[in-house]
Amino acid sequence: MPRSNLSWFSPLALLTRAFGQIVIISYVPLSLARSGSHFYLGFGLIYALPFVMQLIFAPLWGHLLDRRGNVAQIAAVGYLGYAVMELGTAFAPGIAAILLALAAGGVFGAALSPAAKWHTLRLPDGTTHLSRALQGEAGGWLAGAIIPAAGSYLGIGLFHQLAWIGVATLAMALVSLGSAGRFQAFPKPHATQTRDEGPALARNSWLPLLGVLLQFLSGEVFFSFYGVYLTTYLKGPLWLYSLTLAGTTAIGLWLYTPALRLAGRIGAERVLLATSLWYLVSYLALYLAPSVALAAIVFSVPAFSFLRIAASLAFAQAAPHRSGTAMGAFDAAEGLACSLGGPISGAFVGAAGLVALPLLPLLVSVLAPWPLLLARRRSAPTTVAGD
């Protein structure tokens, strides 16, 4: 069979990863809470552990991709890791066993996202393909928001669904291995940029990285307990949780292309500033006037599409000749925010109650714009030869 660029590979990989991830981190804690458990710290750890493993191991897998380039095999390892997470959670007898399955599978599952993005950025017009890959990821979130709720209404338990999802993910590992011979050997881009080229986000490493990290964190500390907050404290219906989860993902999926165009026109750093200000305003409103409707609105506005596109472009532009390492760093930043978000929220809610949940993301979002503003202030415009 002739070798091809397999442009479907990255969207499918990110879709499969996102689908399995959202089912575990969103519905498993909610299912346990609705069954009568009040072990909020345990819920936070279930939410966080896949991201802890992503934080630790995604940079290692990304570096291995840059050195070896065996993307199909590394993606297969990632699929296998998610299958372990899904099947282990499905048959676990309790929270401790669930955490063990998530830790064991997460070591290998952390390979899937860097592999998908590494392949995308090696394609011609890689940033356009990156947008499509992230749309695939959003499609996985959308499916993960709808299918568990639909299954529950049909009488299919969440853990029974997870068992079948795990079997399907194992099949995807075989598909990835079977596609290995069809990949083009993409050459490494030449490292033609100097340290001072590129946008401000590329020239000032730790400040914008901190700003992106804080934005991710402000979203995660709210999202990790949004379902419990909406249905338990505000007494909102379960269908509204599922509807907002599906709605924001569906709209966000469509917004990736406009977000890419906007970031290309005004710059990734300006888009990141705009999203940071949106999070600040929205959490302030929810803290001052909590209600079912406002919580659903705050959650449903898909600012994440603009955040993820702008942050992905910033990381890719910072190291264009080491895309695996760059995407591993991106996944590590996201993993750090997500791994901190669940336990911090769990401890905070356990101490202050669900009533205080909006205060936590508000405090984080107050801090998020300042590293970005400082990075812009410290960045003098540069001119690249030939422009």
Per-residue pLDDT tens over the stretch 106-142:
999 998 888 888 788 777 766 677 778 878 887 887 7
Q: How far apart are CA 109 and CA 363, in angstroms?
A: 32
Q: How confident is the model at residue 3 (pLDDT cuts 50, 70, 90)?
A: very low
Phi and psi at residue 199, in whole multiples of 5°?
A: -75, 175
Residue 299 lies in a domain: yes
Task: Calculate mean pLDDT across residues 30-47.
Answer: 76
Residue tagged 């200000």 (tokens) = 277
Q: How far apart are CA 181 and CA 176, in angstroms?
A: 10
* 235: number of Cβ within 10 Å: 8
Among 20, 321, 279, which residue's Cα sits nearest to residue 171? 20
Residue 383 lies in a domain: no
Residue 190 lies in a domain: no
Provide the domain count of the chain: 1
In total, the chain counts a number of residues equal to: 387
- What amino acid is encoded at 169 in this protein? T
Q: How far apart are CA 311 and CA 18, in angstroms?
A: 18
In degrees, to the nearest 5, what angle opens at C-alpha 242 toward C-alphas 240 and 245? Answer: 105
Task: Calculate mean pLDDT across residues 301-323.
Answer: 76
Q: For residue 177, count CB atoms less than 10 angstroms from its CB and return exposed for 0-12, middle for 13-18, buried for 19 or more.
A: middle
Helices (H), the chain: 9-22, 28-34, 40-68, 71-91, 95-109, 112-122, 126-153, 158-178, 200-203, 206-223, 226-228, 238-266, 268-288, 292-300, 303-318, 323-352, 359-367, 369-378
Per-residue pLDDT tens over the stretch 196-217:
334 444 445 567 678 888 888 8
CB 55 within 8 A of CB 336: yes
2 pLDDT above the threshold of 60: no
Is 171 in a helix, a strand, or coil?
A: helix
DSSP secondary structure, 287-348, as one string: HHS--HHHHHHHHHS-HHHHHHHHHHHHHHHH-TT-HHHHHHHHHHHHHHHHHHHHHHHHHH
* Distance in Å from the first CA to the final CA of the chain: 42
355 pLDDT above the threshold of 80: yes
* 341: number of Cβ within 10 Å: 27
Domain range for 109: 9-179+201-378
* 261: number of Cβ within 10 Å: 12
Residue 168 lies in a domain: yes
Predicted local distance difference test score (pLDDT) of residue 196: 37
Residue 263 lies in a domain: yes
153 pLDDT above the threshold of 70: yes
| Contacts for 188 with CB less than 8 Å, ≥ 6 apart | 66, 321
328 pLDDT above the threshold of 60: yes
Q: How far apart are CA 369 and CA 309, in angstroms?
A: 17
Is 125 in a helix, a strand, or coil?
A: coil
Report for 92-96, 132-136, 354-358, 380-384: range of highest mean pLDDT:
354-358
Q: For residue 227, what is the domain's CATH number?
A: 1.20.1250.20
Residue 194 lies in a domain: no
Per-residue pLDDT tens over the stretch 256-278:
888 888 888 888 888 888 898 99
Q: Which residues are registered as beta bridge partners of 183?
A: 4
- What amino acid is encoded at 312 in this protein? S
Among 101, 120, 121, which residue's Cα sits nearest to residue 109? 101
368 pLDDT above the threshold of 50: yes
Query: Which tokens is 359 given?
Result: 């205060």
Residue 322 lies in a domain: yes
Q: How far apart are CA 341 and CA 79, in angstroms?
A: 25
Residue 366 lies in a domain: yes
- What amino acid is encoded at 82 in this protein? Y
